[in-house]
């Protein structure tokens, strides 16, 4: 048997392509609904983090008739200004680029609630539609 394994067999996935090709790495089982639950819990976890640091005191989770889910909180929100280096809104960066956030090196923000740690990363390329409302 001839071994044809070489550099052409190696794929380099970048950005959200990794999540699209291997969603189980980010959300777990995709066939039985557990992945959907994980995605919802990751967003709720972000709201719980806000409660823990006293920036929020209300979380509302709604399952709509069309099976879509809304998650609202009264926390500090997501910045909408333009990122100086990327030249796009910070909200767009947070929703479309993996491993972005404000809590990586902030020692003041101690997490007591432990989700998967990926926050919205697990959702960024798997969901069909996201609608963000800033109040």
Composition of the chain by helix, strand, coil, percent to 5? 30, 10, 60
pLDDT for position 78: 87
* pLDDT tens string 2-57: 678 899 999 998 888 888 888 888 888 888 888 888 888 888 988 998 899 999 99
Tell me the longest C-alpha to C-alpha distance in the chain.
64
pTM, entire model:
0.71
Instruction: Tell me which residues are annotated as active site.
Output: 42
Report the top-level CATH class of 13-122. alpha beta
**Mind giving me the DSSP string for the chain?**
-----SGGG-----TTHHHHH-THHHHS-SSSSHHHHHHHHHHHHHHHHHHHTTS---EEEEE-TTS-EEEEE-SS----SBPTTT-SBHHHHHHHSTT--S-SS-TT----S---S-GGGGTTTT-S-------
Q: What's the pLDDT score for residue 29?
A: 85
pLDDT digits (tens, 9 = 90+) for 45-84: 889 988 999 999 999 999 999 988 999 999 988 888 999 9
Tens digit of each residue's pLDDT (9 = 90 or more) over 85-112: 999 999 888 888 888 877 766 665 555 5
Q: What does the pLDDT read at residue 84?
A: 95
């Amino acid at each position: 048997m001839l071994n044809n394994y070489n550099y052409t067999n190696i794929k380099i996935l970048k950005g959200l392509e990794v999540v699209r090709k291997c969603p189980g790495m980010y959300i777990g089982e995709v066939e039985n609904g557990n992945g959907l639950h994980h995605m919802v819990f990751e967003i709720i976890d972000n709201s719980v983090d806000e409660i823990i640091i006293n920036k929020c005191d209300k979380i509302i989770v709604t399952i709509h008739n069309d099976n879509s889910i809304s998650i609202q909180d009264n926390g500090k929100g997501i910045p909408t200004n333009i990122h100086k280096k990327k030249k796009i809104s910070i909200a767009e960066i947070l929703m479309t680029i993996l491993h972005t956030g404000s809590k990586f090196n902030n020692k003041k923000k101690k997490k007591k609630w432990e989700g998967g740690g990926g926050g919205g990363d697990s959702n960024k390329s798997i969901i069909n539609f996201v609608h963000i409302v800033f109040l």
